[in-house]
């Protein structure tokens, strides 16, 4: 019984075997590293304040999206509160630096912790509900966070926000745009390595098993409740770190930066990259950041474009794109390619 | 007090008695077969024995510990592992990772471990991977380790599911129709593995429609009809029971 299936697969589709040889294992790792390197060097190539600023913004988007990959991609819970959780990290860093005079480095870890704690609060409904109901519950929790940003003036500055957040200091000097980009890049690489390590660990496999079939996962001894909350804590902590970088990059934190629009963009990045694909998430987040930057000159058009991209992602997920092509072919009376005769090998 | 025992167990579904007062016990190192017509309560018995559903009355005892009403996670910790008639693979994972979820049954997933990867953690990961690959080899699936399970045929998916169950190193293994959708010679191929596991002290409870196979593999057979045990003993004795004989003739190959 062994071996026969393997043989047929290899011989009937030799190209597939060749492809998997070429694009798998070490070759694939080298390719991915090369892409990562190119993306990391892009801001240097663009150069100047704009280039490095854009680079830092892209890294913030990457970290936030990787956080959502942990919550949604790995553990299968759609959180619609990723931007407000990023906001929690941003407010925490801003508050600690402005009011208490902490350095960025000292403020970052507590900010991650606070965001993780709020993430657990947002993810609590995940103990009982799944899918669309959970998504709605997190949406509600995100709106509550937004309301807290505006109404707890003592911590958040209310509608005024927190201004004059100092820059990042290192070895006694305040870093310029290039230095901040380097810091953000380092943080982004740590988060990327962390997300990839999670995926290839017993914890990551347990999360993905729960995501794919909770009944079977339980029958293999996996406790759903604890692990689901842990995913929210980790993913939200990552969002918090991104928020911390956001605070020092912009020097100003207010609630408008962490609304539903921003959350939708993070979800879009994850959907484009595909669930649990960490490397592709980096590419998708960088691409979206670049596109939104280009569009910002045209005002509100960026929201329309976001909408169109969402519809495109949904259409391709539903198989509507290929179905649409078939219909188009019929409308234009282009004959479909003939089916191969029995015994003939399809091209 | 070793053994997986169901004591006078019943389960009702909105007024229907799916299982009514059944007692059975699987000892370590024995294969107990359950046969009976469709709708006789076989799958409900499997669900009761694995903690997937709680009994309406009666008790489930595993190695002397009363697990009545406990979660299936708790049953898994007690060493009870099951397969599903409908497979229930983790569709987003590769063949290897599906089996890895089985191998890591006793492992407590740790966040710190995943991030710091200390030597002990890496050694364990290597050990788990080797064990998973060994089981894939047993079932002739080595070449598919990196494939997504969604790309496999039904027979191959069945083998992945069994590899996952065996790899979980169960004390009691419950197989719900392992022959469903599998051609007879593949089912025959599992016989050796099941007998070998049995020799290693695993208690096996198997529900199967291929009665020739049940006769060859099982030490003892239970005949169920309408949710009650109607006969128990060797396959020949059970198969001769008037409530089961017409059904057996109808399905004989």
Asked whether the predicted pLDDT for residue B250 surpasses 80, the reply is no
* Mutant choice from A211, A213, A220 vs B, greatest count of B C-beta within 10 A: A220
* DSSP letter (8 states) at residue A162: B
Q: For residue A28, which residues of chain B lie inside 8 Å, CB to CB?
A: none
Alpha carbons A231 and A123: distance in angstroms, whole number: 9
Q: Indicate the pairing of strand B228-233 with strand A169-170.
A: unpaired
Which residues in chain B are closer than 8 Å to A201, comparing Cβ atoms? 109, 113-114, 125
pLDDT at position A1, please? Answer: 37
| CB pairs < 8 Å spanning A and B | 115
Find the mean pLDDT for residues B4-8: 96
The alpha carbon of A7 is separated from its chain's Cα centroid by a whole number of angstroms, namely 39
Collect all residues of chain A within an 8 Å Cβ-Cβ radius of residue B164: 220
pTM: 0.89
Cβ–Cβ gap A209/B156 under 8 Å: no
Distance CA A185, CA B181 (A): 52
**Which residue does chain B place closest to A6, by CA atoms?**
B143
Strand B80-82 versus strand B65-66 pairing type: unpaired
Please give the Cα distance from B194 to B171 (Å, whole number): 13
- Which secondary structure element, helix H or strand E, spans residue A301, and what is its range? helix A301-317
Are residues B114 and A197 in contact, defined by beta-carbon separation less than 8 angstroms? Answer: yes
Tell me how far apart the terminal alpha carbons of chain B are, to the nearest angstrom: 40
CB contact under 8 A, A208 and B93: yes
CB contact under 8 A, B71 and A218: yes
Pairing of strands B4-13, B57-62: antiparallel
Q: Does residue A72 come out as left (phi exceeding 0), alpha (psi in the -120 to 50 range) or beta? A: alpha
Stretch (H or E) spanning A294: helix A278-295
Chain A residues with CB-CB distance to B103 below 8 A: none
The answer to whether residues A77 and A96 touch, using CB atoms and an 8 Å cutoff, is: no
For residue B193, what are the CA distances in angstroms to A5, A196, B2, B188? 20, 36, 22, 10
CB B58 within 8 A of CB B41: no
> Angle formed by the axes of helices A82-98 and A224-250, to 10°?
50
Report the pLDDT averaged over residues A315-340. Answer: 72
Cα–Cα dist A243/A119, whole Å: 13
Q: List, in order, residues 6 or more apart from B8 with CB less than 8 Å away.
A: B21, B22, B23, B57, B58, B59
Residue closest to B161 by CA, chosen among B148, B149, B171, B170? B149
Asked if A213's CB is within 8 angstroms of B88's CB, the reply is: yes
Q: What is the pLDDT of residue A25?
A: 63
**Of the listed ranges A67-81, A239-253, B12-26, B234-248, the one predicted with least confidence:** B234-248
Contacts with A130 (C-beta within 8 Å, 6 or more apart), sequence order? A76, A77, A214
**Residue contact A194–B115, C-beta within 8 A:** yes
Is a pLDDT exceeding 90 seen at residue A337?
no
pLDDT of residue A338: 57
Condensed to tens digits (0 to 9), the pLDDT of residues A191-250 reads 999 999 999 999 999 999 999 999 999 999 999 999 999 999 999 999 999 999 999 999
Cβ within 8 Å, pair B111-A2: no
- As for the ipTM of the complex, it is 0.93
A227/A76 Cα distance (integer angstroms): 11
The answer to whether the Cβ–Cβ distance between B140 and A215 falls below 8 Å is no
- The size of chain B, in residues, is 253
Q: Give the 3-state secondary structure percentages of chain B, helix then strand then coil, rounded to 5.
A: 40, 25, 35
């Amino acid at each position: 019984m062994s071996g026969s299936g393997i043989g047929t697969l290899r011989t009937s589709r030799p190209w597939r075997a060749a492809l998997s040889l070429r694009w798998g294992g070490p070759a694939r790792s080298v390719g991915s590293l090369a892409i990562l390197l190119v993306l990391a060097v892009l801001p240097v190539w663009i150069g100047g304040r704009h280039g490095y600023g854009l680079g830092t913004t892209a890294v913030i988007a990457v970290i936030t999206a990787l956080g959502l990959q942990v919550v949604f991609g790995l553990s299968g819970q759609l959180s619609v509160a990723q931007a407000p959780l990023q906001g929690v990290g941003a407010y925490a860093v801003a508050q600690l630096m402005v009011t208490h005079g902490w350095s960025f480095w000292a403020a970052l870890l507590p900010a991650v912790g606070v965001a993780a704690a709020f993430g657990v609060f947002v993810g609590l409904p995940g103990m009982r509900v799944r899918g669309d109901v959970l998504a709605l519950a997190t949406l509600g929790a995100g709106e509550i966070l937004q309301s807290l940003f505006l109404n707890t003036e003592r911590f958040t500055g209310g509608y005024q926000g927190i201004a004059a957040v100092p820059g990042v200091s290192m070895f006694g000097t305040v870093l310029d745009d290039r230095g901040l980009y380097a810091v953000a890049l380092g943080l982004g690489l740590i988060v990327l390595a962390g997300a990839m390590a999670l995926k290839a660990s017993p914890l990551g496999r347990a999360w993905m098993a729960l995501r794919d079939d909770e009944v079977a996962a339980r029958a293999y001894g996996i406790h759903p409740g604890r692990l689901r909350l842990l995913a929210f804590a980790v993913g939200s902590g990552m969002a918090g770190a991104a928020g911390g970088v956001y605070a020092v990059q912009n020097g100003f934190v207010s609630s408008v930066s962490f609304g539903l629009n921003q959350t939708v963009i993070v979800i879009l990045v994850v959907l484009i990259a595909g669930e649990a694909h960490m490397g592709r998430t980096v590419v998708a987040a960088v691409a979206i950041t670049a596109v939104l930057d280009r569009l910002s000159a045209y005002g509100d058009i960026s929201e329309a474009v976001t909408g169109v991209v969402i519809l495109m992602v949904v259409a391709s997920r539903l198989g509507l794109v290929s179905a649409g092509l078939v219909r188009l072919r019929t409308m234009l009376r282009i004959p479909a390619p003939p089916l191969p005769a029995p015994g003939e090998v399809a091209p | 007090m070793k053994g997986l025992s169901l004591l006078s167990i019943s389960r009702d579904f909105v007024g229907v008695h799916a299982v009514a007062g059944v007692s059975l016990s699987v000892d370590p190192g024995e294969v107990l077969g359950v046969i009976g017509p469709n709708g006789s309560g076989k799958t409900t018995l499997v669900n009761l024995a694995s903690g997937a559903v709680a009994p309406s009355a009666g008790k489930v005892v595993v190695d002397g510990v009363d697990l009545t009403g406990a979660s299936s996670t708790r049953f898994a910790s007690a060493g009870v592992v099951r397969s599903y008639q409908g497979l229930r693979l983790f569709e987003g994972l590769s063949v290897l990772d599906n089996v890895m979820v089985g191998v890591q049954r006793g492992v407590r997933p740790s966040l710190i471990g995943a991030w710091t990867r200390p030597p002990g953690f890496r050694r364990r990961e290597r050990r788990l991977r080797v064990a998973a690959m060994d089981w894939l080899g047993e079932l002739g699936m080595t070449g598919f380790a990196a494939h997504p399970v969604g790309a496999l045929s039904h027979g191959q998916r069945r083998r992945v599911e069994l590899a996952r169950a065996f790899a979980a190193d169960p004390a009691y293994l419950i197989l719900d129709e392992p022959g469903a959708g599998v051609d007879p010679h593949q089912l025959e191929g599992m016989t050796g593995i099941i007998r070998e596991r049995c020799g290693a002290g695993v208690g096996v409870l198997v529900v199967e429609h291929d009665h020739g196979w049940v006769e060859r593999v099982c030490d003892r057979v239970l005949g169920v009809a309408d949710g009650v045990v109607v006969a128990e003993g060797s396959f020949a004795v059970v198969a001769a029971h008037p409530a089961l004989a017409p059904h057996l003739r109808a399905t004989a190959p």
